[in-house]
Amino acid sequence: MKSILKLSTVAVLLASGMTFAADAETNAVTGAHSHYDSWNEKKQALKDNHGLDLGMDYNMLGFSATDAIGESSAAAGALRVYGQWDLTESDSGDTGGLVFKFEHRHKYTDSAPKEYGLVDLGYVGFAHSLFGDQGFRTTHLFWRQTLLQERMVVYAGFLDMTDYTDFYALASPWTDFNNAVFSSGNGTIGGLPDGALGVMAGGFFTDSIYGSASIIDAKGNASDLVEGAKDLFDTGATWKSLELGWTPSKEMLFISNAHISLWQRDAVGNDDEGYGVNLSLSGLIGQQWLPFLRAGWAQDGGAMYDASVSAGLGYIPSSRSQDMVGVAINWASPMASTFGGLDLDDQYTAEAYYRAQVTPWLQVSPSIQVLNHTAVDIANAKLIEDKTDVVFGIKARFEF
């Protein structure tokens, strides 16, 4: 099994139509050799000569809503430096190396998009789960080792569970859907730890059947890895996963797959011990369509919802093969134990976005979310039933 990081990169390239060949073809037509091309050549030399595959980007997100109960808008940015440094290689072709991702997340406005849904709209969930004001973070820092002629991979160190649990092609909030109900876990996985000390092992049993298992720190502390590790050894609280899935081929793992994911989380803080199951079916049809159907169920564990179902699709325009259109809907039942025993009505979420590859180094993604829910007005200690919010978003990603 190839490393999950490598395959996820392939998945993003295939799903969005982005290829280095396409970039080269564009440059051949224009006859231009930009600073971006020169920088890519230097990165390629680092990879060829030293085994270091390096990437950097700067991400921006802004939200504005029609009927907020708090701030009407929120905006934030995130600088990320990430990569993989292969340091060992066996005669059989198996490799070992360091995987890393360092971030700085910061807000531009009084409210950050990560808190915007719950605090400013009273929405039980995340209009976006990542753009906050946490400052410096280390979400990945682990050793990656392939085994059995790359049929198996082992991660050991500080992990992000969304890399290998309940994944599908449009799961990344950095590039695709904003709302957390359309990313890993469907809102029914408690904790979603990243920068969490632990171990994951995964591999292919046949050419199509794969599986993975992990045990990591239930809380994680990407802002302070040392404190996070200390907390793990003090409390012993862990988050565990087991996944079994099918894919038409190893190369299509992150594009087309059907899987079942089981998870369990020990008690952490005010969250009771919990567990759950997630199901997912997604695939690429006709090189343009990416439909998906995903569902999750949970019992406690700090999950947002005790049940959640999402359906949608991505579409790659034939005339703009580097772009992506995404449309999805979700039904969710809020978890009473996570919200102080409140028995809230079911809520419905819809989102549509267009991810445009404006230049080889710039993506721009306008989006709209429609949220129908019972609003929890924290400031005034009341509930607002059957509230509908329309959230307009604009996301940009500058790649270096």
User: What per-residue confidence (pLDDT) applies to 10?
Assistant: 33
- Other CB atoms within 10 A of residue 133 CB: 15
User: What per-residue confidence (pLDDT) applies to 4?
Assistant: 38
**pLDDT (mean) for 288-296:** 97
Reduced to 3 states, what is the DSSP secondary structure of residue 192? coil
% residues pLDDT > 90 (the chain): 79
Report residue 38's pLDDT band, with 50, 70 and 90 as the boundaries: confident
Q: Say yes or no to pLDDT of 27 above 50.
A: no
**pLDDT (mean) for 283-307:** 95
How far apart are the C-alpha atoms of 365 and 396, rounded to whole Å?
Answer: 6
Pairing of strands 347-359, 362-377: antiparallel
Reduced to 3 states, what is the DSSP secondary structure of residue 200? strand
User: Is 278:188 a contact under the CB 8 Å cutoff?
Assistant: yes
- Taking only the tens place, the pLDDT of each residue in 308-339 is 999 999 999 998 989 999 999 999 999 999 88
**pLDDT (mean) for 80-107:** 95
Q: Say yes or no to pLDDT of 28 above 60.
A: no
User: What per-residue confidence (pLDDT) applies to 105?
Assistant: 98
Reduced to 3 states, what is the DSSP secondary structure of residue 3? coil
Contacts of 10 (CB under 8 A, 6+ apart): 251, 254
Task: Quote the tokens at residue 327.
Answer: 């449309």
Q: Say yes or no to pLDDT of 240 above 50.
A: yes
User: What per-residue confidence (pLDDT) applies to 99?
Assistant: 97
Q: Which residues pair with 282 in a beta bridge?
A: 257, 292
Q: Which residues pair with 98 in a beta bridge?
A: 85, 143
| 150 backbone dihedrals φ, ψ, rounded to 5° | 65, 25
- Taking only the tens place, the pLDDT of each residue in 346-391 is 999 999 999 999 999 999 999 999 999 999 988 888 999 999 999 9
Reduced to 3 states, what is the DSSP secondary structure of residue 22? helix
Domain ranges of the chain: 4-49+63-399
- Taking only the tens place, the pLDDT of each residue in 174-203 is 999 999 999 999 999 998 899 999 999 999
- Taking only the tens place, the pLDDT of each residue in 46-91 is 888 888 999 999 999 999 998 999 999 999 999 999 999 999 999 8
User: Is 195:139 a contact under the CB 8 Å cutoff?
Assistant: yes
Asked which of 3-7, 244-248, 255-259 is least confident by mean pLDDT, the reply is 3-7
Residue 307 Cα distances to 11, 242, 319, 335, 336, angstroms: 28, 19, 38, 8, 11
Question: DSSP string covering 121-154, please?
Answer: S--SS-SSSS-SS-EEEEEEEEEEEEETTTTEEE
Q: Say yes or no to pLDDT of 291 above 80.
A: yes
Q: E strands of 160-304, at which residues? A: 196-204, 209-217, 238-246, 257-265, 274-282, 289-299
Triad 151, 156, 157: Cα angle to 5°: 150
How far apart are the C-alpha atoms of 15 and 72, rounded to whole Å?
Answer: 33
Q: Say yes or no to pLDDT of 243 above 70.
A: yes
Residue 248 Cα distances to 43, 256, 282, angstroms: 32, 7, 11
- Could you say which DSSP state residue 183 is in? S
Report residue 29's pLDDT band, with 50, 70 and 90 as the boundaries: very low
Average pLDDT, the chain: 90
How far apart are the C-alpha atoms of 373 and 295, rounded to whole Å?
Answer: 19
How far apart are the C-alpha atoms of 247 and 148, rounded to whole Å?
Answer: 19
User: What per-residue confidence (pLDDT) applies to 33?
Assistant: 66
Specify the amino acid at residue 208: S
Task: Quote the tokens at residue 27.
Answer: 């440059």
Residue 381 — left, alpha, or beta (φ > 0 → left; ψ -120 to 50 → alpha)? left
**pLDDT (mean) for 209-237:** 94
How far apart are the C-alpha atoms of 147 and 153, rounded to whole Å?
Answer: 6
Q: Say yes or no to pLDDT of 222 above 70.
A: yes
Q: Name the CATH architecture for the domain at 4-49+63-399.
A: Beta Barrel (2.40)
Task: Quote the tokens at residue 174.
Answer: 């950095």
